[in-house]
């Protein structure tokens, strides 16, 4: 086994941070803590954690701004901690690529379940069901479930773990229209995601595909959901 995953806890309320870190350590995760947004980015850049638990209401730089910066630099999975429904709406509306979120107040056990699920989805834990799967090719697009990578021609797509899983799910059954609920079950199991979260992830995925010259591949199917049609 490699070393245990390193988790960055970004939380300005020290009591809450201590509880979260305590539970994480009990499950043998390694932890780092940041108490404001600026410190979060500094620690993120120096330790490159496997996962970030990010409170959105933070001093100095708010969590959404931290998330935006993290996303410009990496696809590190992020679980956002929100205090208000409006924050969830913002998260979704801004398409910032959070991998999951949890609302305060939350039960630590529920947070731990999300941590495990997000790490599993991001490939920190082996995914034996994919080990023998060959890459899927649609035109210039190639999606490789073993390497957890996708490319257009020779150009690698920079995708978040959730975007990758959505793309693979759609590509592996191209031509089939998926409902949002089916996509959540396939690509974000055990998450708290609402159906409109899927729209945000897919909008971001579509932008990345189009940025690489793949236009009209990811299609909206009115009244149903989405499909990939090559």
**Which parts of this chain interact with Ca ion (CB under 5 A)?**
12, 55, 57
CB-wise, 57 or 61, nearer to Ca ion? Answer: 57
CB-wise, 101 or 226, nearer to Ca ion? Answer: 101
CB-wise, 24 or 80, nearer to Ca ion? Answer: 80
**Pairing label, strands 100-103, 78-82:** parallel
CA atoms of 139 and 230, how far apart (whole Å): 6
| Smallest separation, CB 10 to Ca ion (Å) | 9
| Smallest separation, CB 182 to Ca ion (Å) | 35
Q: What are phi and psi of 35, to 5 degrees?
A: -105, -5
CB-wise, 47 or 83, nearer to Ca ion? Answer: 83
| Smallest separation, CB 66 to Ca ion (Å) | 12
| Smallest separation, CB 83 to Ca ion (Å) | 7
CB-wise, 6 or 57, nearer to Ca ion? Answer: 57
Alpha helices in 80-139 (DSSP H): 85-93, 108-121
Name the residue whose CB lies closest to Ca ion: 57
| Smallest separation, CB 84 to Ca ion (Å) | 11
- Residue 221's DSSP bridge partners are 225
Please give the angle made by the CA atoms of 158, 160 and 166, to the nearest 5 degrees.
105
| Smallest separation, CB 210 to Ca ion (Å) | 36
Instruction: Tell the burial category of 216 from Cβ atoms under 10 Å away from its Cβ (0-12, 13-18, 19+).
Output: exposed
How many alpha carbons lie under 13 Å from residue 158 in its C-beta half-sphere? 8
Q: What are phi and psi of 170, to 5 degrees?
A: -70, -40
Is the distance from CB of 14 to CB of 35 less than 8 angstroms? Answer: yes
CB-wise, 55 or 100, nearer to Ca ion? Answer: 55
């Amino acid at each position: 086994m490699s070393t245990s995953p390193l988790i960055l806890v970004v939380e300005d309320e020290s009591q809450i941070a201590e509880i979260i870190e305590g539970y994480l350590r009990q499950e043998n995760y390694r932890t780092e803590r940041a108490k404001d947004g600026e410190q979060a980015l500094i620690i993120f850049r120096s330790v490159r954690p496997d996962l970030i638990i990010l409170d959105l209401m933070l001093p100095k730089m708010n969590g959404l701004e931290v998330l935006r910066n993290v996303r410009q630099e990496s696809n590190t999975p992020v679980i956002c901690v929100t205090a208000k429904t409006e924050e969830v709406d913002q998260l979704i509306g801004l398409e910032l690529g959070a991998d999951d979120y949890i609302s305060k107040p939350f039960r630590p056990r529920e947070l731990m379940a999300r941590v495990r699920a997000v790490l599993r989805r991001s490939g920190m834990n082996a995914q034996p069901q994919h080990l023998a799967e060959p890459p899927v090719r649609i035109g210039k697009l190639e999606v490789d479930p073993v390497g957890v990578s996708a490319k257009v021609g020779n150009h690698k797509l920079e995708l978040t773990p959730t975007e990758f899983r959505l793309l693979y799910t759609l590509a592996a059954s191209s031509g089939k229209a998926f409902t949002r609920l089916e996509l959540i079950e396939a690509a974000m199991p055990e998450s708290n995601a609402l159906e409109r979260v899927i729209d945000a992830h897919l909008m971001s995925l579509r932008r990345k595909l189009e940025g690489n010259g793949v236009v009209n591949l990811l299609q909206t199917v009115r009244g149903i959901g989405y499909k990939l049609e090559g």
